[in-house]
Structure 1
Amino acid sequence: MQGAERRARDPGGKTAWKTHIIRQLRHRDHAQLVFQELIQSYNKLLEKSVFLKDLTDKIQTDPIVSPGVHHAARILSEGPPVAVLADPPALQQEIAELHIYNGELAFQACELKKKVQERDEELKRQKCSISFLSTQVDDHGRQCQCLQDETARLDSSNADLKRDYDQLLAQRLLLEERLHEAEEQERELIGTMTKKKALEAEHQNNVNERRKEEMWRRLLGKALRKTVSAEGDIRHRLHTDLCDSSSLEMSGSPEIEKTISRKSRSQSMISLGSSKVMGALRSLFDFRRPQDDCSMDDDWYHHPSVCVICCPPRRALYSKEVHDSEVHAVKFSPTSRTVATGGADRVVKIWGVLGGQLQGQQVLQGSNGGITSIDFDPSGAQLLAASFDGSAHLWRLDSKSSEKLTGHTGKVTAARFKMSTYRAVTCSMDRTVREWDLHKASCVRQIPVPSYCSDVVCSDSYMISGHHDKKIRFWDSRSPHCTHEVTLEEKVTSLYMEPEQTQLLSCSRDDALRLLDLRTMSVHLVFRADGFKCGCDWTKAILSPDASYSMAGSSDGTIFIWNTRTGLLEHSLPGEHSVAVNAVAWSVSGDYVVSVDRGKKAVLWSEY
């Protein structure tokens, strides 16, 4: 290089062209040196771009891209700026920034790789879960198929049962129709036989009358013959006496004739009188004999001994758990020898009152709900019970047969016999009062009422219902409308009408008993006492057989007795019951009282 410079300064100019060439080469070297650095930088950027491309291909699953990546991509895509070509320090600064970005990208690549690994693991877990759930879906599908097959089988079985039920229903309807026809024929036969018996009785009565007349004729003939003979004897005795007397001739004396006729009439009257007395006695016995023959039906009704003067009970004779659950109702039969109880265990039990104890006699089953009330018919041969299963049950105690009175859509709260044995009345929570013909076991009258009915009492001509809207409503059997209303202070829980049907006792939730005069339709007396509280919505209160006392049980188990003449508390009976007393019953004879409570218990009370 130094030699070339000396030759370039040669004054002869022989080496000028060489100098020019050297200058050009230097300029070229200087210019190419810049391009060499640029080429090296470009190669490095190309390597980095290849690396970034591979990295970008690997992290395509991550949507998040660092701003540095965008910046590097922008630099690589835009190519080397003109300033880099012109300014190597700026290019070095840019390369330094690219190194920094490269480190950031490497860090981000590691992070992304870690996330990719985590997501791969999560994907594996999800695949395992999907596989497990697919297995469960398959199992559930098989179970669903089995259930569908079982449903199809049950549908087929139900269809068969429905066909059998329809056939049985058709047979039942046919048998019921035949039964109604048989009952109609039976009634016709009974009517025919009754008419025939009446005709035979009338014929027999005529025959008896003719026989009696013939007997009277014979008796009168005998009496007349005896009178004539007696008169002859008298005349004979007088004639003998007169003949024996020599001082007087008495054959034609008027005094003697009068004496004879007077004595003969006396003897005749004696004979006729004795025969009339005996005839009257015979006719009396003959009259009572056919009556006894005709009173066979009356013997079916055991006419109870009615207590004229009643004394309130004072002593508990017997205590016993009579049911498996709460006892709701109790009722004495008209004979006062048996008592029936019913409760939440869905049965009615008949107990005999013997020797001051309750002895089980019979269990009446068939109800699908708890028993709410019990009533005997006037003969004591039938028992009617209301049930929470929406029906009333009628049991015939002599034949042990039963019938179900259905039609109510709610719980039946009370069921009562009317004065006749083939009519009954029920009330229900479906806000209806129904009248039933027990011969046909069918409803003959339905009365809609404006409120839930808790109790009902009835006679042959009218019905009285107690309601939760605090009203007592009176219904005439000949009219569908309410004839009278009495409003109390709280909802009515029970009603009780005395046998004379002149007084009505009500119990209500205001802890009071009220005695209504049915002749004036007004409240006559109100009975209250310290400690008396009505225990539930079906607490029953009653009157004594002679209507001298009213009785009800309290929520604490005490029984309260009021005098209906004075309106004052007579006395109370605590201690035997520990829970609320639901109902009480007083025997028609007045000898016993039975109380039942919510704790399965019944207590027999008496005056002695």
Structure 2
Amino acid sequence: MQPCWSSVESTEARKSGTVDETGEVSYDFEQKIFRLQEELTELHRQKGNLAGEFIELNKSVQEKDKLIASKNARIAEIETGVKKLQTTNMNLLDEVHKLERSNKLLREEKLAISESFECVQAKNRELEDDRCKLIERMNKLQVVVEQLKNIEHDVNYRKAQEAIRKQLAEAASISVDETPFTGPAQVFNAVIPQKAVAEIDANEGEVNSVRFTPSGQLFGSAGFDRKLRLWAVVEGKCELRSTLVGCNAAVTAIDFDPNETVVLGASSDFSCRVWTLSDSRLRVNLTGHSERVVSAKFIGSSKRVVTVSSDRTIKLWDVDRCQCKRTILAGSASQDVVACTGLGAVITGHFDHNLRIWDERTGNNTDKITLSARITGLDISPDCTQVLACTRNNTVEVVNLRMKRVTQCLASEEFRVGLDIVRPTFSPDAQFAAAGGQDGGVYIWNAQSGQLEKCLRGHNNIVVCCHWNPSADHIMSSMGEKPTEKRRKESIIDLSKYLDKRIRVKFTGGREAIGILKGCDNLHNMVLDCTTEFLRDPDDPHRLTEDTRELGLVVCRGPSVELVCPADGMESIPNPFVQQE
């Protein structure tokens, strides 16, 4: 191929009039040049097209390179994830192996536990059979014990009748007029007693409950000697008519049926018993509570009884069938119960300050009345419209059952409730209310006006129960723990000579402690070190047990100190109020 400038030179030669030696430029040569020019043009066009295709292919290659790079990155990421998953898979396989081993061990343990459980079940069945046999044997022994006690009573009764027969034979000339029972006495206008007309040691130890019969001809007393005694007041003197036995622990409350045929006694041995008044024989033993029975009442007749217990349950009993008809879960400990036949309900007083009314037929709690403090005892008016409640807030509150609220709060500056069980009483006409105080007084208020009418003195310890005679002319009251002769030698006047020595201190309320006297003043405010307190008996909060607890350093306020003595006893105390021998 000739360069392009050759054609230009030919053109210039033609213009200048010069001609090659051949003499002319042939037409063929020009045509050839023209074709060559066209080919050159075509080649340039193809070159341009190829350059465009090259650019497009280059772009495509770049895009493919980018795609390959992204794919490679994705492949690397996936490979990294695969490695992680392989590691996780290996860990999970290890966990599976561990779980398989643990599962195998658990299956072996389950098998061993199943075998042990079967052995325990077999032993439990044996123990259950033994328990049933023991319960059956205990019931038989209980029947035998009751029969023996009845036989003992019959023997004592025959001896007493024989003695009476001999006395009657010696005094045959004296005629005795017997006054038959004429039913409950009518309600009289109450008269406030002015002085004590009789005093007896009704029971050995503390007396928990006293109560007149509906006619007022007899009264009963019961306490920690496990006996229920029946008394008659004859010409101002109290005569013992009968002693009812059968309880295995302290008798906490008594009640008479309206017809005066039987007497009811609640006991700390988790049961309640019924005796007949005609022959003083034990007739029914109601068992079912898991803690001590604190109170019991007849409901309208001798066939129905309600009991409350420290196990926080209320039980309604059918006396004829000797079985529990209904058990009510009270939710709070109760210290007393009364029956309201007018409403068909029973009313209980509780530690949570509430007076609860229960429907006798359904066992539902129909009403709840909140008082000022925990309730220690109850009484109900003869017309069943008012309830009298004694509380630890040192008040006696009158609750109207129709208005469902407290209508009168009876209190006095000197009146103090010293125990968790203090039972008040209404007068037969419900005009007056009475309750025992910590100072030994029997306080009598006007239930309508709330005014303190009288404070009867005569007891030298806490009065725990009182009851108004249906004849409305006198009140009976019972005292807590009787003070012994040693305890009447009250206190050490000069406490300074007992510094750094062990002394025993009794506080108001019954608590006692032993400690080393580290300081004192003339008001008996004391500081004790290494102090040990004696714990109370849970079945008898007025008695101390041998169990103790350490208190360390204790500050004793003088007004709370009732008795101080050396730790080795009280006989060595010189009593400043008694002439020494």
Query: Which category of TM-score, normalised to the shorter sequence, fits these structures?
Result: 0.5 to 0.7
Residue identity matched to 2:417 = C
Match in the other structure for 1:589: 471
CA distance in 1, matches of 2:245, 2:329: 30
SS in 1 for 2:428: coil
SS in 1 for 2:301: coil
Match in the other structure for 1:487: 370
SS in 1 for 2:306: strand
Describe the shift of the 1:600–1:340 C-alpha distance in structure 2 as closer, same or farther (beyond 3 A). Answer: farther
Describe the shift of the 1:439–1:566 C-alpha distance in structure 2 as closer, same or farther (beyond 3 A). Answer: same
Residue identity matched to 1:592 = H
Runs of 5+ consecutive residues of structure 1 not aligned to the other structure: 1-157, 176-298, 602-608
**Structure whose residues are more often strand by fraction:** 2
Per the normalisation by structure 2, the TM-score is 0.52
Match in the other structure for 1:546: 429
Q: CA deviation at 1:595?
A: 0.8
Residue correspondence of structure 1 range 445-456 to structure 2 within 5 A: 445-456=326-337
Q: Per-residue CA shift, 1:330-363, capped at 9, x if unaligned?
A: 0001121111000111111111111111111111
Match in the other structure for 1:75: none
Contact 2:231–2:241 under 8 Å retained in 1 = yes
Residue identity matched to 1:308 = F
Q: Per-residue CA shift, 1:228-284, capped at 9, x if unaligned?
A: xxxxxxxxxxxxxxxxxxxxxxxxxxxxxxxxxxxxxxxxxxxxxxxxxxxxxxxxx
Q: CA deviation at 1:535?
A: 1.8
Residue correspondence of structure 1 range 209-228 to structure 2 within 5 A: none
Q: Per-residue CA shift, 1:452-472, capped at 9, x if unaligned?
A: 111111134111111111111
CA distance in 2, matches of 1:352, 1:492: 31
SS in 1 for 2:438: coil
1:418 aligned residue (274, 279, 299): 299
Describe the shift of the 1:598–1:167 C-alpha distance in structure 2 as closer, same or farther (beyond 3 A). Answer: closer
Contact 1:455–1:494 under 8 Å retained in 2 = yes
Contact 1:330–1:585 under 8 Å retained in 2 = yes
Q: Per-residue CA shift, 1:429-485, capped at 9, x if unaligned?
A: 111100000101110011001101111111341111111111111111233321111
Residue identity matched to 1:434 = K
Match in the other structure for 2:347: 464
Q: CA deviation at 1:170?
A: 9.6
**Structure whose residues are more often helix by fraction:** 1
Match in the other structure for 1:580: 462
Residue identity matched to 2:411 = R
Contact 1:322–1:600 under 8 Å retained in 2 = no
Contact 1:323–1:600 under 8 Å retained in 2 = no
Match in the other structure for 1:441: 322
Q: Per-residue CA shift, 1:175-205, capped at 9, x if unaligned?
A: 9xxxxxxxxxxxxxxxxxxxxxxxxxxxxxx
Contact 1:351–1:362 under 8 Å retained in 2 = yes
SS in 2 for 1:346: coil
Percent identity, aligned pairs only, is 32
Residue identity matched to 1:589 = S
Per the normalisation by structure 1, the TM-score is 0.50
Contact 1:541–1:551 under 8 Å retained in 2 = yes
Residue identity matched to 1:474 = I
CA distance in 1, matches of 2:307, 2:142: 25
Residue identity matched to 2:192 = P
Q: Is residue 2:517 matched to residue 1:517?
A: no
1:340 aligned residue (210, 215, 220): 220
CA distance in 2, matches of 1:538, 1:171: 35
Match in the other structure for 1:386: 266
Q: Per-residue CA shift, 1:66-116, capped at 9, x if unaligned?
A: xxxxxxxxxxxxxxxxxxxxxxxxxxxxxxxxxxxxxxxxxxxxxxxxxxx
CA distance in 2, matches of 1:565, 1:415: 28
2:389 aligned residue (506, 530, 555): 506
Describe the shift of the 1:443–1:314 C-alpha distance in structure 2 as closer, same or farther (beyond 3 A). Answer: same
Match in the other structure for 2:414: 531
Residue correspondence of structure 1 range 305-454 to structure 2 within 5 A: 305-402=185-282, 403-454=284-335
Describe the shift of the 1:320–1:474 C-alpha distance in structure 2 as closer, same or farther (beyond 3 A). Answer: same
Contact 1:579–1:599 under 8 Å retained in 2 = yes
Q: CA deviation at 1:495?
A: 1.0
CA distance in 2, matches of 1:173, 1:488: 42
Q: Per-residue CA shift, 1:485-513, capped at 9, x if unaligned?
A: 11112110111111100111100100000
Residue identity matched to 2:194 = R
Q: CA deviation at 1:571?
A: 1.2
Describe the shift of the 1:300–1:172 C-alpha distance in structure 2 as closer, same or farther (beyond 3 A). Answer: farther
Contact 1:453–1:467 under 8 Å retained in 2 = yes
Q: CA deviation at 1:305?
A: 2.2
Describe the shift of the 1:170–1:433 C-alpha distance in structure 2 as closer, same or farther (beyond 3 A). Answer: closer
Describe the shift of the 1:166–1:554 C-alpha distance in structure 2 as closer, same or farther (beyond 3 A). Answer: closer
Superposed CA RMSD in Å reads: 2.8
Describe the shift of the 1:449–1:358 C-alpha distance in structure 2 as closer, same or farther (beyond 3 A). Answer: same
SS in 2 for 1:321: coil
Describe the shift of the 1:302–1:436 C-alpha distance in structure 2 as closer, same or farther (beyond 3 A). Answer: farther
Contact 1:324–1:600 under 8 Å retained in 2 = no
CA distance in 2, matches of 1:380, 1:348: 15
Residue identity matched to 2:307 = T
Describe the shift of the 1:389–1:174 C-alpha distance in structure 2 as closer, same or farther (beyond 3 A). Answer: closer
Aligned residues: 320
Residue identity matched to 1:384 = L
Residue correspondence of structure 1 range 257-336 to structure 2 within 5 A: 302-336=182-216
CA distance in 1, matches of 2:346, 2:305: 11
1:497 aligned residue (380, 389, 395): 380
